[in-house]
Chain A
């Protein structure tokens, strides 16, 4: 109990208050940076555990021939190839400053296998996944944006103003309005919505979230809430 709950709690409280002090007291600023660096080091060490878990889970899936085990083979292959190519700097040319040292070059250079993996595997795959959002937002709009009440109607009207105002369609539809009514042009309306309504709403949400963060942090710092250690409540 001491090692599993009490000591971690006191480490969290002490580190938290020291980080807080580092925001206000100049002599402790370096301490705050050191704690942040310590977290990065711990996270890097923890990556070994994560990688081990990844290998174990996927190897088990392959050996048991679970549903979708082919994907596990692809995962393992990609992991091992990228790790090998990057860690051992396969195909990396020596740096011009140190031509006799074989590992002096950067593996991230464009003409290296690692650079090739980045440019022709990583970039297309991540761009593709991000592009899926366009399709999903269309299906979500079709399914979910229904004018069921007054607030929903307001939402839809605003959505139409923004969707049309941020494209050339807004200019075509309302560009003919005279100068004295230019505020009603869709492109100007969309800017007005962003600068007035959106700003007000976002400020309120941001302030609420900031207070929520402050309260949650205080609960953890003061040891009032220990449920982040699991088990629930203060137990």
Chain B
């Protein structure tokens, strides 16, 4: 029995809006998936057609990564660990590409390695994309090397603290690391001034900090790149144990813009991948905000209807 007051309340604009919103509570989640797909796809197409990207202002963490590589004198050795696989390459490959490009441009000697089974493939792909194409004068084994993948997770990290060659007796080509010119005078990871880790999970940046950087007591600097979900648990280590951090594709875009500005000239598209992905990220995030607001409006509408009933 509604009565006059109830009938008036049921016809009010607020009630009508609430009734309409409550219907959305049972919205099939496939509509949400479709909207997200369009929010990502349309910007990708737009950027592909126009080639335009958003300007990036580097945060302190990304600037620190750039500065750590810039401070190294020419010819310094750098250990680069590729601890990710194709699943996270969307987020991490752009930062790995820019990091290797920056090192090669600074004429640093890069020793690549991997603790993920597919990390060695990612290292080879990045080397082929950056060094072999844009720095063809660099010689494998002398100016750069890929030590390949080694199973053992933290166990390998601990061994590198004392004997790098014991951890990696052969490189990815099958050649003995005893004879590699790039490793002459290197006994362990402590002989590198900088460690670069691009990690997607376990083992990754956190394990390198816990087992290697802490054990070196400050003599080894480390910069890292990680996925968005891993960034919150790595921020506590910055800037003490982790000298620089690239968190998610945003960090990659900031670092990429720093490197491209430093290199100058026309930037090939392969060095703009992170910045190109910021547009889909923007619209994806805006959609998320919209969905959260809509979800809360539906919740409020439900409360209004329950209160009226």
Contacts and interface: CB of A to CB of B under 8 A. Distances in A.
Contacts of A164: 285, 289
Interface in A187-204: 187, 191, 194-195, 198-199, 202-203
Interface in A108-137: 108, 118, 122-123, 126-127, 129-131, 134-135, 137
B45 interface: no
Given A134-B36, A135-B36, A167-B278, A141 B295 contact: yes
A130 B181 CA distance: 39
B299 interface: yes
A122 to B, nearest CB: 7
Contacts of A169: 282, 285-286
Given A40-B152, A167-B281, A194 B235 contact: yes
A7 interface: no
A163 B283 CA distance: 10
A33 B158 contact: yes
A131 B90 contact: yes
Interface string B32-52: 110111001000000000000
B250 interface: yes
Interface in B231-261: 231-233, 235-236, 238, 247-248, 250
Contact of B285 (A32, A37, A163, A195): A163
Interface in B51-74: 54-55, 57, 59-60
B235 A141 contact: no
A129 B87 contact: yes
B75 interface: no
Contact of A168 (B158, B231, B278, B287): B278
A198 B232 contact: yes
Given A138-B291, A166-B285, A194-B231, A40 B86 contact: no
B294 interface: yes
B17 interface: no
Interface residues on A, range: 35 or more
A14 B151 CA distance: 24
A47 B212 CA distance: 30
Q: Say which size band chain B's interface belongs to.
A: 35 or more
B289 A163 contact: yes
A160 interface: yes
A150 B27 CA distance: 27
* Most-contacted residue by chain A among B231, B284, B288, B291 (CB, 10 A): B288
B174 interface: yes
A206 interface: yes
Contacts of A146: 295-296, 299
Contact of B86 (A127, A191, A198, A203): A127
A33 B288 CA distance: 47
A127 B87 contact: yes
B121 interface: yes
Contacts of B85: 126
Given A36-B155, A40-B151, A202-B233, A142 B285 contact: no
B236 A203 contact: yes
B292 interface: yes
B285 A156 contact: no
Interface in B109-146: 118, 120-121
A146 B295 CA distance: 7
Contacts of B27: 142
B86 A123 contact: yes
Interface of B: 27, 29, 32-33, 35-37, 40, 54-55, 57, 59-60, 85-90, 118, 120-121, 151-152, 155, 158-159, 162, 174, 231-233, 235-236, 238, 247-248, 250, 278, 281-282, 284-289, 291-292, 294-296, 299
Interchain residue pairs A-B with the least CB separation, the first 5: A36-B155, A126-B87, A123-B86, A130-B87, A167-B282
Interface of A: 29, 32-33, 36-37, 40, 95, 97, 106, 108, 118, 122-123, 126-127, 129-131, 134-135, 137-139, 141-143, 145-148, 156, 159-160, 163-164, 166-169, 171, 187, 191, 194-195, 198-199, 202-203, 206
Given A145-B292, A163-B289, A206-B236, 9 more contacts: A131-B90, A138-B35, A138-B36, A138-B284, A138-B287, A147-B296, A167-B281, A198-B232, A198-B235
25 contacts: A32-B158, A40-B152, A95-B174, A118-B121, A122-B86, A126-B85, A129-B87, A137-B288, A138-B35, A138-B36, A138-B287, A141-B295, A142-B294, A146-B296, A147-B299, A160-B292, A166-B250, A167-B281, A169-B282, A169-B285, A194-B231, A195-B238, A198-B235, A202-B232, A203-B236
